[in-house]
A and B are shown apart, each in its own frame.
Chain A
Amino acid sequence: MNAVLAAIALLVLGSAAAALALRNLIHSALLLILSWLGIALFFLWADAEFAAFAQVLVYVGAVSMVVLFAVLLTRQSRADLSVTAQSRGRAAAGVGAALAVAAVLAFAVLRTPLPVPSGLRSAVTVRQLGGELMGPHAGALLLVGVLLTVTLLGAVTIAGAGRLPPDGKDQP
C-alpha cells in the first residue's frame, strides 16, 4: 500500500518539478497534465473515486486545454526566454524560500502526533455524495453555480475586451 503511495508521489513530484524547471512552455504544460493525472491516481488510491473523476474531467480535460490555448495565443520569440543574471538571483531566492516553507511544513507534520484510526473505513458511494451535496450543502452548491457563471462572463469580458475598438488600432 505504501509502495503505491510512494510511486504516485514520485510521479507527481517528478513531473511537477520538471514542468516548472523546463524552458519550453508546451513541455511544461504537458508535464503538468501528467502531474494532475497523478493526483487523480492519489484520489483513487484514497477511495475518493468521485473526486478522482472530477480531477480528471476538470484539470486533465478542461484546465489543460485552456492552458494550452493560452500558451498558443501568447506565443513569444525565443529571445524572450533567455536567462539573465537578475532572474538567476531571483530563482535562487525563490527556491530558498520554497525550501524553507517545505522544511517548516515537514517539521510540523513529523512532530505532530496524528491519531491513527483503527476502525475499518467504508468508501463513500456516489449516491451518498449526491445526498450530501443536495442536502446539507445545497446552498454552497448553488453559490458555486453562481460563481462559475460569473467567472465565465468575467473571463469572456476580460479576454474579449478591446477586440473591436472604434479606431481599430488594437487589432492584431
Chain B
Amino acid sequence: MSALQGCLLFSSALFAIGLAGALTRGNAILVLLGIELMLNAANVNFIAFWHYRPTPAPALGVVFVLFAIAIGAAEAAVGLALIIALYRGQKSIRLETATRLKG
C-alpha cells in the first residue's frame, strides 16, 4: 500500500464517518456537521492527489481546495441560518418533527 492509498483510505474513512453521522443523528446541527465532515474528506482527497502529482504541476489542487473551503463556509452559514429559522417555527431542531419551514 502506497502513501497515496493511505491518504485515500483516510479520506474514505472520514467520509464514511460523516455519512454515518448525517444518516443516524436526529439533531439538525449534527446532520449539518456530518455533511461538513464529508466535504472535508473531499478536500483531503484533493490535497492528497495534488501532493502525489506526477509532474511539478502548478498549484491547481490548492486553488481547488481554497474554493471548496469558501463554498463549505457558505453552506455552513446558510444551513445554520435555516436551523435557527426551524427552531423559531417549531421550538425544536429534531428532524423527525420538522415538517415545515414556514415560521
Residue total for B at the interface (Cβ-Cβ under 8 A): 74
Number of chain A interface residues as a range = 35 or more
Chain B: CB-nearest residue to A162:
B103
Are B51 and A48 in contact, with the CB atoms below 8 A? Answer: yes
User: Taking the nearest CB of chain A, how far is it from the CB of B17, in angstroms?
Assistant: 5
Interface residues of A in 101-122 (CB under 8 A from B): 101-102, 105-106, 109-110, 114-117, 119, 121-122
Are B103 and A98 in contact, with the CB atoms below 8 A? Answer: no
Are A159 and B17 in contact, with the CB atoms below 8 A? Answer: no
Are A128 and B33 in contact, with the CB atoms below 8 A? Answer: no
A residues in contact (CB < 8 Å) with B: 1-2, 5-6, 9, 12-13, 16-17, 19-20, 25, 28-29, 32, 35-36, 39, 42-43, 46-48, 50-51, 54-55, 58-59, 62-63, 66-67, 69-71, 73-74, 76, 80, 87, 90-91, 93-95, 97-99, 101-102, 105-106, 109-110, 114-117, 119, 121-122, 124, 128-129, 132-133, 137, 140, 144, 147-148, 151-152, 154-156, 158-159, 161-162, 170, 172
Can you list 15 A-B contacts with CB-CB less than 8 angstroms, sorted by A residue number? A1-B3, A2-B3, A19-B21, A42-B44, A42-B47, A48-B51, A54-B69, A55-B69, A73-B84, A93-B23, A102-B13, A105-B16, A116-B2, A133-B63, A155-B81
